[in-house]
Amino acid sequence: MRAAVLDADRLPRVGEIDPPPGTLVDVLACGLCGSDVEKIGHAAPGTVLGHEVVARTADGKRVALIHHRSCGTCKRCLAGHESTCERFPGATIVPGGFAAQVSADGWVELPEEVDDARGTYVEPLACVLRGAERIPRGRILVVGNGFIGRLFGAVLERRGDTVFAVDRNPHRAGTPPDGPVEAVVISATGGAETALEAVEPGGTVLLFADAGELPAAAVYRRELTVVGSRSATPSHMEQAVALLPELELPAATILPLERFDDGLALFRSGSVFKVVFVP
């Protein structure tokens, strides 16, 4: 089957690979995530990336695949830290979403009104919903206003927050804050300095990406709450499916898998908000 595979130089090349063992689903679309791009040049040769997957099951259902699954019963899971569960790193989409077929460890069904490309938003939206639970309501700054930042903005505005957004790319910058904010979401690499300049004493900083250096002195002197959030749970996937039709979000740029290099270049250029590949 066709797949985008990391070659000996750890770079993606579209070619033929053997299907994985197990019950397979047909991939309909897979979104390109920043975490996929970070692995290019670093992950092991033979790796197939991609986890924002919409597929069709053998009985004809269109589904969004679950990426990672915790045990649900250990101390970490029960405390709400499912992504730190020892079971969580196990692969649930094999070999990876940038392929014609995959084996999967679970999914949520998509409604008819959500098309294949938009259905790839379910997984990242689920991650954002989990992160948003850790942010107090109020005036919130989103640092990094790309696709994930837009998801945060849509979710937070819907729950009634006043949302500001900044980005290094002037074409993506939203409305900067007109004073201190009660919380900051860092949804792009770097951003620590911007967050500390904006958040009020006693405020909250959510690390949804690598913030860079966050000085401990500033945290303790201003009594800031710093929290991290990574990935999602199956229940957040269900919430995302229900919420997705109600949100206004950027449209995806859809490309065939054969044009993986073109899509990667578009992503890296920052000229589009979302790239989705179809087999």
Which residues, 6+ apart, have CB-to-CB distance to 269 below 8 Å?
Answer: none
What is the residue-averaged pLDDT of the chain?
96
In a domain, 128, yes or no: no
In a domain, 130, yes or no: no
Q: Point out the least confidently predicted range of 15-19, 22-26, 126-130, 171-175.
A: 171-175
Same domain (yes/no): 144, 103: no
SS (H, E, C) 158-221: HCCCEEEEECCCCCCCCCCCCCCEEEEEECCCCCHHHHHHHEEEEEEEEECCCCCCCCHHHHHH
In a domain, 179, yes or no: yes
pLDDT band at 11 (very low <50, low <70, confident <90, very high): very high
Provide the CATH number for the domain around residue 170.
3.40.50.720
Same domain (yes/no): 140, 109: no
Same domain (yes/no): 202, 240: no
Same domain (yes/no): 68, 185: no
How confident is the model at residue 190, as a pLDDT? Answer: 87
Tell me the pLDDT tens digit for each residue of 32-74.
Answer: 999 999 999 999 999 999 999 999 999 999 999 999 999 999 9
Domain count, the chain: 2
Q: What is the pTM of this model?
A: 0.95
For the segment 130-139, the average pLDDT, to the nearest whole number, is 97
Provide the CATH number for the domain around residue 88.
3.90.180.10
In a domain, 60, yes or no: yes
User: Contact 20/48 with Cβ under 8 angstroms?
Assistant: no
- Give the domain range for residue 156: 135-228
In a domain, 39, yes or no: yes
Tell me the pLDDT tens digit for each residue of 104-130.
Answer: 999 999 999 999 999 999 999 999 999
In a domain, 267, yes or no: yes
Q: Distances from the Cα of 153 to the Cαs of 148, 173, 191, 247, in angstroms? A: 9, 12, 17, 10
Same domain (yes/no): 141, 199: yes
